[in-house]
Amino acid sequence: MTEPLIECKELNEDKECKELNEDKECKELNEDKECKELMEDSGCRNTVLDIDLSSFGILEGISETIVSTGFEFPNAAPIGIIRKSGRPFVRLFKGSHTWANVSKEKYLAANVVYDPLLLVRSTFFDLAISEFEFVPAGGRSFPVLKEASAWVVFKCVNIKNTDQALVAELVPVEAGFNEANMKFLPVPNRGFNAVLEATVHATRYQLSRDEKYLEWILHYEELASKCGGEKEKQAMELLYKVLGL
């Protein structure tokens, strides 16, 4: 039996494989015969090839996750992970911490979170360092949220910058579940969805000061209090406080 050349987590340090990776566009990695064989030969579970995003809740369309970034100074904010024909990518508007961290470090983690209060807190405030845990990625430790039911760390490739935003394709490099946070089955809830919508409108209101967003927020607030639980109500209270309403 061939001795494994490399451990999976050491993939990034493996010269031969790294060179191959750098030679090719990451998006072509799946189709790259030579690299695939090398990885299979090595007994390496290549996370790039193995991670099935759907089983981590990241499906076709836009998955509203909380994205963590920043090897050194962890940050978290709600960001949509977009999947089109299976391929994941992200659009980050200029000026946010997330945008700055991804521009600099080229890594992000999508955290699957069902907590409406954490959604609002991470939109408008810095989370405490104690709310993150660190997982191996990119040869270093990367922050993910302790509260996440599942997380996927992505390398950002083919980054395109426009005046307003950057768009990056995403290559999954590590992923995990947090069993402790999966005690209940998440069932569609209009209250949670209403908080999500209201928070999106709140970020738009902050940018534009367009009053139409306030009307929509009011509408979603009613829905959140009618269909949501205690956490949805707390989340909306915080949102109103942030907007000074």
Ligand X SMILES: Cc1cc2nc3c(=O)[nH]c(=O)nc-3n(C[C@H](O)[C@H](O)[C@H](O)COP(=O)(O)O)c2cc1C
Which residues of the shown chain bind ligand X in the complex (CB under 6 A)? Answer: 64, 75, 77-80, 91-93, 96-98, 123, 196, 199-200, 203
Closer to ligand X by CB, 118 or 150: give it. Answer: 118
Least separation in angstroms between residue 238's CB and ligand X is: 13
Tell which residue, 57, 60, 76, 64, has the closest CA to residue 197: 64
Least separation in angstroms between residue 32's CB and ligand X is: 29
What is the helix (H) or strand (E) element at residue 137, kind and residue range?
Answer: strand 132-137
Closer to ligand X by CB, 23 or 245: give it. Answer: 245
Closer to ligand X by CB, 8 or 216: give it. Answer: 216
Least separation in angstroms between residue 12's CB and ligand X is: 25
Kindly report the backbone phi and psi dihedral angles of residue 100, in degrees, each rounded to the nearest multiple of 5, phi listed first. Answer: -65, -45
Structure tokens at 114: 């069902």
Tell which residue, 54, 186, 37, has the closest CA to residue 113: 186
3-state secondary structure of 120: helix
Closer to ligand X by CB, 6 or 92: give it. Answer: 92
Least separation in angstroms between residue 109's CB and ligand X is: 13
Closer to ligand X by CB, 32 or 221: give it. Answer: 221
Least separation in angstroms between residue 229's CB and ligand X is: 19
CA distance 236 to 54: 30
Least separation in angstroms between residue 137's CB and ligand X is: 19
Q: Using CA atoms of 93, 97, 103, 105 in order, give the dihedral in degrees to the nearest 10.
A: -150
Q: What share of the chain is helix, strand, coil (3-state, %, to 5)?
A: 45, 30, 25
CA distance 173 to 204: 32
CA 218 centroid distance within chain: 28
Closer to ligand X by CB, 8 or 242: give it. Answer: 242
